[in-house]
Structure 1
Amino acid sequence: MRAVVVNSFGGPEAVEVVETDVPEPGARQVRIKVSAAALNPVDAGVRSGGFGGAGQRIGFGWDVAGTVDAVAPGGPWSVGDQVVALHYGPVKPLGTHAEYVVVDADAVAVAPATVDAVHAATLPLNALTAAQALDRLELEPGQSLLVTGAAGAVGGYAVRLAAHRGIAVSALARETDEEFVRSLGAVGFTAGDIEAGSFDAVLDAAFLGEPALEWVRDGGAYMGVIPHAEPGSVRGVRTGAVEVSADGARLAELVRLVEDGVLTTRVAQTFSLDDAAKAHARLAEGGVRGRLVLVP
Structure 2
Amino acid sequence: MRAVSYAEFGGPEVLHVAEVPVPEPGPGQVRVRVAASVLHPVDLMIRSGRFPAPLPTGLPYTPGWDVAGTVDALGPSVSRLAVGAEVLGFSPWLQTTAGAHAEYILLDAAWLAPAPAGVPATEAATLPTNGLAAAQALDLLALPAGSTVLVTGAAGQVGGFVLALARATGLHATGLAGAADREFVESLGATFVPRSENPAGPFDAVVDLAVIGPSLLDLVRDGGGYVAASPPLRPEPVRGIRTFALEVQPDGTRLGELAALVAGGDIPLRVAGVYRFADAAAAHERLARGGVRGGVVIVP
Percent same amino acid among aligned pairs?
A: 50
Q: Which residue of 2 aligns with 1:15?
A: 15
Q: 1:58–1:92: 8 Å Cα contact kept in structure 2?
A: no
Q: Which residue of 2 aligns with 1:73?
A: 76
Which residue of 69, 86, 92 maps to 2:90? 86
Instruction: State the shift of 1:189 in Å.
Output: 2.8
Please list, as runs of the form range in 1=range in 2, the aligned pairs for 1:258-273 lying within 5 A after superposition.
258-273=262-277
Give unpaired runs (5+ residues) of structure 2: none
Which residue of 48, 55, 59 maps to 2:62? 59
Instruction: State the shift of 1:188 in Å.
Output: 4.3
Structure 1 residue 182 and structure 2 residue 186: aligned? yes
Q: 2:91–2:98: 8 Å Cα contact kept in structure 1?
A: no
Instruction: State the shift of 1:191 in Å.
Output: 2.5
Q: Which residue of 1 aligns with 2:44?
A: 44
Name the stretch that deviates more: 229-238 or 32-41: 229-238
Cα distance in 2 for partners of 1:173, 1:65 equals 29
Q: Which residue of 2 aligns with 1:28?
A: 28
Q: 1:5–1:94: 8 Å Cα contact kept in structure 2?
A: no
Name the aligned partner's letter for residue 86 of structure 2. Answer: Q
Please list, as runs of the form range in 1=range in 2, the aligned pairs for 1:91-106 lying within 5 A after superposition.
92-106=96-110
Please list, as runs of the form range in 1=range in 2, the aligned pairs for 1:1-12 lying within 5 A after superposition.
1-12=1-12
Instruction: State the shift of 1:200 in Å.
Output: 1.3
- Structure 1, residues 206-245: CA drift from partner, whole Å, max 9, x if none? 1222233332223221102223432222333221112111
Instruction: State the shift of 1:79 in Å.
Output: 1.2
Name the aligned partner's letter for residue 3 of structure 2. Answer: A
Give unpaired runs (5+ residues) of structure 1: none
Instruction: State the shift of 1:197 in Å.
Output: 4.8
Aligned residues: 296
Please list, as runs of the form range in 1=range in 2, the aligned pairs for 1:1-296 lying within 5 A after superposition.
1-49=1-49, 50=51, 51-53=53-55, 55-75=58-78, 76-90=80-94, 92-194=96-198, 197-296=201-300
Cα distance in 1 for partners of 2:239, 2:62 equals 42
Root-mean-square deviation (CA, aligned residues, Å) is: 1.7
Give the structure-2-normalised TM-score: 0.93
Q: 2:64–2:93: 8 Å Cα contact kept in structure 1?
A: no
Q: 1:70 to 1:279 in 2, by over 3 A?
A: same
Q: 2:6–2:16: 8 Å Cα contact kept in structure 1?
A: yes
Q: 2:277–2:299: 8 Å Cα contact kept in structure 1?
A: yes
